[in-house]
Structure 1
Amino acid sequence: MRDLVTADDTTLIDLSIGLEDGVASEPTPPSIDAFDHEAGAERLAETLQAQGYDVEADDFPDGMGLAWEDLEVIPHAGTHLDAPWHYGPEVDGEPAKTIEEIPLEWCRGNAVVLDFRWMDPGAEISARDLEDALDELDHDLSPGEIVLIQTGADELWGRPEYLTEFPGMSAEGTKYLVEQGITVIGTDAYGFDKPFAAMGERYVESGDEDELWPAHFAGREVEYCQIEKMANLDALPRRTDVPIVAFPITIENASGGWVRPVALIGDETEGETA
């Protein structure tokens, strides 16, 4: 891992989706107000004027200041990591960690990609499904590995269908992975659970509260983090032993933070197939 981070011949694969203004794939989309360099000169001049300095926008070189953006956005927009605090105030009777309390050691390691692109949208990934996917890879999980759930939903990014066309994790499946020593689980779908509509429909039919965010609420019993809205898992050259780093931004007392997962692929993987 150390050699891959510094090697010139390492290929970096971006596994994230960024923040986009008003995108149709977010129920609470970011609002991004961009200021160009001319507007930046006006704002910088106003800042200096407020401090008592006689500076005008035209005084800047070519009348241009600094470009920047004002954002209004939740930490669960774009690719992000959910902390245990997102799921509930406690995990098995202990205070749940907020995002700045997540150990960095959890957020780097070798990833295992489990392919569930064959599952129907709205279906739930069981422990048995996970076991079968691992058997297909002839792989036994080790503590500290990062499990990535591939649904193919990232191909729908930018469209409303992104919010509804994917399978989700089950509570038992989530607990099964955590019991193998997995503390970070990622998905390329909008959410970790099945889509909102599927949960709502099943709850109305059954009246069973376990139909509502079961995978998330499993985090009240077992401690783990999840990365939602990943992308480009199909660009990885193999399914196991994929070194990745996925460090979240820290936000005080927050339930999640934006993250940019990156896979580090060395030249020795050339010729390998997924």
Structure 2
Amino acid sequence: MRLIDLSAPVDASGYEPDPVTHHVLTPRQGAVHMSEEMARHFGIDFDPDDLPDGEFLSLDTLTLSTHTGTHVDAPSHYGTRASYSDCAPRNIDELPLEWFFRPGLLLDVSDVGTGVIGTARLEKEFARIGRTPAPLDIVLLRTGATRHLGTQKYFTDFAGLDGPAVHLLLDLGVRVIGTDAFSLDAPFGDILARYRRTGDRSVLWPAHVAGRDREYCQIERLAHLEALPAPHGFRVACFPVKITGAGAGWARAVGIIDD
């Protein structure tokens, strides 16, 4: 069995619209911190110099969005209504684990550039690889956006699905759609330019808005999709972190090849 890392890092040194802060306590600082916390919360005096080498444990504290790095969007991220249910849309901690460990299908749409991917382009790719998604397959879109990872262009130069393309995949039984781009929708600038030109509200973030009428999840900001050796014949594990009441959760996405 081979494991292929399909995740982008959470990196405070890279460009992010919502900056990441990463504060590190060294093992020595961790010893002092532990001593102070023991005294404050439990009334226990402890000299950090009594520890081997005067060190305890390092401690990392991060401030970031749940949409930083590779992550899974939950139905509650898409809006407050769910026309498919009498209940509110589910949060990331409420979703079935079975959705996130399934056969994968890789679609190479890296020729599209910046803009939208429609049903015709998906159907062309199905024909090229000789396969359509089976129910509950995890579909991965290789847009080529990772070439800009860590830069401002990663957030502006990529392709996303239009509404009919999302519904095509959902009609086939797909419940998790992944992309190596910042968003499953086209870039903000592209969307707004088309809206201002046409006045058509259906072009406004259709991939996300579709989640108000169809329950499904997106995996955004994947990486290394080019390392997958074939468009199918592999599995994907992408379990989201269980954050109570959250609209998204970070994931360590992995491609699994059974040799």
TM-score (norm 1): 0.90
Q: Are 2:152 and 1:160 equivalent residues in the alignment? A: yes
Identity fraction in percent? 38
Are the aligned partners of 1:110 and 1:243 in contact in 2 as well (CA < 8 Å)?
yes
Q: Please, which moves more after superposition, 70-79 or 202-211?
A: 202-211
Partner residue in 2 for 1:47: 37
Question: Where do 5+ consecutive residues of structure 1 fail to align?
Answer: 1-9, 268-274
Question: Where do 5+ consecutive residues of structure 2 fail to align?
Answer: none
Matched position secondary structure for 1:18: coil
**For residue 113 of structure 1, what is the amino acid of its counterpart?**
L
Distance 1:142 1:54 in 2: 61
Matches within 5 A, 1:1-274: 10-24=1-15, 26-50=16-40, 51-94=42-85, 95-121=88-114, 123-267=115-259
**For residue 35 of structure 1, what is the amino acid of its counterpart?**
L
Distance 1:250 1:21 in 2: 22
Q: Which runs of 4+ in 1 moved over 6 A?
A: none
Are the aligned partners of 1:29 and 1:77 in contact in 2 as well (CA < 8 Å)?
no
Distance 1:133 1:110 in 2: 18
Are the aligned partners of 1:127 and 1:176 in contact in 2 as well (CA < 8 Å)?
yes
Distance 2:203 2:123 in 1: 22
* C-alpha displacement of 1:110: 0.8
Aligned Cα RMSD in Å? Answer: 1.2
Q: Please, which moves more after superposition, 33-42 or 48-57?
A: 48-57
**For residue 100 of structure 2, what is the amino acid of its counterpart?**
C
Distance 1:137 1:116 in 2: 12
Distance 1:55 1:216 in 2: 52
**For residue 99 of structure 2, what is the amino acid of its counterpart?**
W
Deviation string 1:160-179 (CA, Å, 9 cap, x unpaired) is: 11111111111110011001
Q: How many residues align?
A: 256
* C-alpha displacement of 1:154: 1.1
**For residue 23 of structure 2, what is the amino acid of its counterpart?**
D
Distance 1:103 1:151 in 2: 27
Matched position secondary structure for 1:91: coil
Matched position secondary structure for 1:239: coil
Distance 2:145 2:104 in 1: 19
* C-alpha displacement of 1:130: 0.8
Distance 1:177 1:69 in 2: 39
* C-alpha displacement of 1:93: 4.3
Are the aligned partners of 1:20 and 1:29 in contact in 2 as well (CA < 8 Å)?
no
